[in-house]
Structure 1
């Protein structure tokens, strides 16, 4: 399936690739594009043949923030009534592994989309920033709430208060990026990583993602209880039985996601 602002294609047997496609706007995440991302992720969530999703942009920009025309036209009332927070929540609610392949600039809402992803592969020339204060506003979709949890207080303060971006190497050292590769190799690396994840037990991948993400949202004592419940629930799955049986039989497991 394709449309003018988001290109969607299968990637291997169990993968899906979403490509932001507004080159004339440097993939600015206008509400229509953000909505399309949420819709495709919801479709993928309900499709058992999709186990991982990779999202990417263009060679020189992943996404250059929100659409400035939308921001310029909005007053306080419009910002409070904005549908975008609900759209962001839909994206963050995607239960399967989500990987970003980033080349070039990832700014503002683009960087907030990156932070919705579970693993980020970046080309050496990639840059990650929250420059909203240059416009007299602040980040509104995770740039002050999620960013400090990922990169630490001082780096987040510098990014938000000064608008200074992180290089790919700095972003990796800060924990925002999982791997830095040569420019032009981010997508291939992300797709290879997605294929490795898709070949693993699907329910374990989803529970593993959910429990790691819970570390940013749940007190440790409550998190330990959630972790144990998720751990125990997997013991009733066919994949757990297959995994342990395959281990004893010294063969590769055949995962069914059940």
Structure 2
């Protein structure tokens, strides 16, 4: 697990930090056949080497986001999404910052017509369209675009020192990559409105209580615990996992009536799969199922 440690945090100053590497001796790591990115590291981990870890590693700004960083994240995510040897994806950063937001210097010189013509931030939400489960492992700062990036993950595990915020209001703008929408759906109107209108930070305990994150761990245990979760998910049928994920997102995005209809249709659809038959047969025979993703 690489720990990016130098630079400044968006909307605030931080002392100069040193780079460290945290070793997780109980996990199996190996290099995957992926492009060599400038700001992103990739690896496959786990007992079956079927968990993809994508680590933001922009050293000079606590993982400040720009189009280059996002394009690299998108490329890595969608390559793993198409890789049949991968069942679950994890997106993480360093112990100091998951991502400290968009680089203000890039935005400072932009005007309205440029933003419209370039469809600024359009590609920043692409990872929300993955078929496979995407888990965010958030340590340190998840601010602005970093918070929005975490919100695009299907599940968020957080380190005890994680800090979430949408501080765009403090520099004369507002969230533009889903912050006002996903926060409201995750936490409700009042909490989301408070975060967006004040720019206040929310710590990990508050985020868990608000439903923003699932669980909290010590920073040095976060990735290992996230991998455990990923391996638990990966033990099930990849085909059925993708169907169930889509059904949950339909609940998140549509009405109850539409969601129930989609869920029932998807449930019926599982009866046309070999994995549904294998799962139920294995249960009756009291043995572990052997899924074939069909």
Structure 1 partner of 2:40: 6
Are 2:125 and 2:152, in contact at CA under 8 Å, matched by a contact in 1?
no
5+ unaligned residues in a row in structure 1: which ranges? none
Structure 1 partner of 2:169: 133
Answering whether residue 267 of structure 2 is matched by residue 247 of structure 1, we say no
Matched residues in 2 for 1:100 and 1:153: separation?
A: 23
Q: Aligned residue pairs: how many?
A: 258
Are 1:105 and 1:126, in contact at CA under 8 Å, matched by a contact in 2?
yes
Q: Summarize deviations over 1:58-109 as a string: whole Å, max 9, x none.
A: 1111000011121112111122233444313421111110001111110001
Answering whether residue 273 of structure 2 is matched by residue 203 of structure 1, we say no
Are 1:23 and 1:58, in contact at CA under 8 Å, matched by a contact in 2?
no
Matched residues in 1 for 2:120 and 2:215: separation?
A: 29
TM-score (norm 2): 0.85
**Alignment counterpart, residue 129 of structure 2, candidates 89, 93, 96:** 93
Structure 1 partner of 2:139: 103
Structure 1 partner of 2:260: 224
Q: CA deviation at 1:243?
A: 0.3
Q: CA deviation at 1:195?
A: 0.9
Are 2:39 and 2:57, in contact at CA under 8 Å, matched by a contact in 1?
yes
Q: Secondary structure at the match of 1:99?
A: strand
TM-score (norm 1): 0.96
Matched residues in 2 for 1:3 and 1:176: separation?
A: 30
Q: CA deviation at 1:183?
A: 2.3
| Structural mapping, 1:114-129, within 5 Å | 114-129=150-165
Q: Secondary structure at the match of 1:101?
A: strand
**Alignment counterpart, residue 72 of structure 1, candidates 108, 117, 120:** 108
Are 1:29 and 1:63, in contact at CA under 8 Å, matched by a contact in 2?
yes
Are 1:60 and 1:105, in contact at CA under 8 Å, matched by a contact in 2?
yes
Are 1:132 and 1:138, in contact at CA under 8 Å, matched by a contact in 2?
yes
Are 1:103 and 1:184, in contact at CA under 8 Å, matched by a contact in 2?
no
Q: Secondary structure at the match of 1:144?
A: helix
| Structural mapping, 1:179-198, within 5 Å | 179-198=215-234
5+ unaligned residues in a row in structure 2: which ranges? 1-33
Q: CA deviation at 1:44?
A: 1.6
Structure 2 partner of 1:149: 185
Q: Summarize deviations over 1:183-241 as a string: whole Å, max 9, x none.
A: 22111111111111111111121111111111121111111111111111111111101
Which 4+ runs in 1 deviate beyond 4 A? Answer: none
Structure 1 partner of 2:61: 25
Matched residues in 2 for 1:88 and 1:72: separation?
A: 18
CA RMSD of aligned residues (A): 1.2
